[in-house]
Structure 1
């Protein structure tokens, strides 16, 4: 410790210590009015206490070696489960199986490196044949787990952004299979109507609004609102269909993410569906329920599989297909991508962007071909 006299006649008592994180010397100081044996003792004690407290904070952050990924997951899961919707939790449980299979519960979390994870993800893509969304889900969940491990001092550094994964490239014809062409849509809806008229109304509503199936089924009569002569669907909830029984399905008061909260302007066709569906219903009733019962997603998807088979349709046909078809139609009409993303509740969706680019590029090629006729 040493002492420096200040211009105001006070004394500054200073001590050095070594920062174990950087190896550099740091200083702590305290001021007294006098420089006596008594004040020097008091200063020494105060400075030692301050140094001890600073070092204690660092030492408490010493990495706990030997902690396995499985142990971290077990500690993290109860917290994560309370933070997310039950459907998101179910999605995590699927990703967890891949984490356990390809990374392993017994690996020490402090030994996991970005390069190691990239090898895992690319093996899943190209060796084991998984698609991009599946592997991206695993990557996203692992990042959450590693951030938790960092906060618990199980790893030394905040997980850095991974080196770019070599994701599978979608071929143009693959993107084109994610939505229906305008000549295909009427045939598909007509076949669905033969199976169940309400199914047709549900999927047609998806096409007309771009809403997710959970958002559509969670719509109540009172969620359709009129503002300045224009009708909107207020999207403020989604259907939690993670339960085993349809009777246990519940409406959750929050959709998939913050950008999902939105008002969707209704076209005249969508408005006709609304007027038909609201007949005999109270304002709190669900618009697309039948006898106060929801349809299981198994039944909805089964109807789509049957239609795909009967029409020999060389396209993906899921509930999301109608949402993608909505995006393709808006792109064809010249609506900007950012407005489409806002309408469908996606700030940054890879598939939305792919469909948009596919349609606009095809339109550009069509007009480019016309130039040859000049």
Structure 2
């Protein structure tokens, strides 16, 4: 306890008061809070009385916190968690995580006391996601939701809302998805014919800027945000070759709608320098002309020379346009901008480029799907070879 001297105005006169202050550690936040009481004197008797009153205030505050912890609702805990989560992850990661958390809270009920959620109800919830005909989600989607909810429950344990994380005890009867996975890999990238149809459709419908950014994705394996965020100064010329310094990404946010260039790529592994093919170099050089160093290569108004005047390409608009294109072109795949990245992997695999080199070129974050596409393409190449080898007898 300490004493702070203060002066207060009483009947037009300044009088001295003594503020007795004590601090305590909150069981909710782990941070220190203060309580205080003010007297007109600081005699031994007053000091004793102040000490007792401060102790009562602290005990009352801690009791209220304890009661709150025991009755904390999903809505209260998730709000506190998301506020902290948003500060430590990339915007795109937060967006997906918040979506899963809010869905979980909606399903269980905002006013549900988090400590009352049983392991049994959690088991039923996640298994229902897999086998309920109305949901029928994939193993991957359910696993992603479960992981995010588990992070929420870890937060609840850390701050005393829960004693244990029951999510970690959940046992899920996963689906047998072998057949679906085989088909899924083939549907994760484009054939040359499908790629050409999409580019031609863009050009025919006056979306040249999208045609060029999709081409560059196809030729480099970049994410859309990395490609749409490229600036003139990110193009490097060395020894007659052209490289891209990929060190940030264009990020769009909503509520309110805004965008900015991030300080880094989506993942640390995404920070990289890649060489361009002659065709990719032509695309880049064409979009560099008459622009400031900090201007974007791609924009809805391609001739704008200054960043402040440019209208950046929005990934949501790009994906909406792709959806219309695949309907027009009758392409039976749920194509998004990420498909050009996957297609780049398939092309390099077909060229016998080593897997580790491909991973370095595209940034390691997509390791799982990258490896699956690589193995699928190389396996298909071996099967084609085995089917053709018998024809060698015709040359005897």
- Place the TM-score, normalised by the shorter chain, in its bin: 0.7 to 0.9
**Partner of residue 354, structure 2:** 336
Residue 232, structure 1, aligned to residue 231, structure 2: no
**Partner of residue 8, structure 1:** none
Residue 203, structure 1, aligned to residue 214, structure 2: yes
| CA-CA distance at 1:324 after TM superposition | 1.1
In 2, the alpha carbon distance for the partners of 1:257 and 1:354 equals: 20
RMSD between aligned residues: 2.9
1:301 to 296, 299, 319: 319
Q: 1:16-165 counterparts in 2 under 5 A?
A: 65-110=70-115, 117-127=122-132, 128-157=135-164, 160=168
**Partner of residue 40, structure 1:** none
Give the total of aligned pairs: 313
**Partner of residue 277, structure 1:** 287
TM-score (norm: length of structure 2): 0.70
SS in 2 for 1:141: helix
Judge which range, 258-267 or 274-283, deviates more: 258-267
**Partner of residue 387, structure 2:** 369
| CA-CA distance at 1:329 after TM superposition | 0.8
Is the contact made by 2:70 and 2:115 (CA closer than 8 Å) also made in structure 1?
yes
**Partner of residue 182, structure 2:** 172
**Partner of residue 194, structure 1:** 204
**Partner of residue 30, structure 1:** none
SS in 2 for 1:231: strand
Judge which range, 324-333 or 152-161, deviates more: 152-161
In 1, the alpha carbon distance for the partners of 2:73 and 2:227 equals: 42
Unaligned runs of 5+ in 2: 1-65, 305-309
**Partner of residue 5, structure 2:** none
SS in 1 for 2:364: coil
Q: 1:191-270 counterparts in 2 under 5 A?
A: 191-195=201-205, 196-243=207-254, 248-270=258-280
1:358 to 368, 371, 376: 376
SS in 2 for 1:226: strand
| CA-CA distance at 1:298 after TM superposition | 4.2
Judge which range, 93-102 or 266-275, deviates more: 93-102
TM-score (norm: length of structure 1): 0.74
**Partner of residue 326, structure 1:** 344
| CA-CA distance at 1:207 after TM superposition | 0.5
| Highest RCO, 1 vs 2 (Cα 8 Å, sep ≥ 6) | 1
Shift of the 217–335 alpha-carbon distance from structure 1 to 2, 3 Å rule, reads same
**Partner of residue 55, structure 1:** none
SS in 1 for 2:253: coil
Shift of the 334–120 alpha-carbon distance from structure 1 to 2, 3 Å rule, reads farther
**Partner of residue 181, structure 1:** 191
| CA-CA distance at 1:255 after TM superposition | 1.9
Is the contact made by 1:122 and 1:167 (CA closer than 8 Å) also made in structure 2?
no
**Partner of residue 331, structure 2:** 313
Unaligned runs of 5+ in 1: 1-60
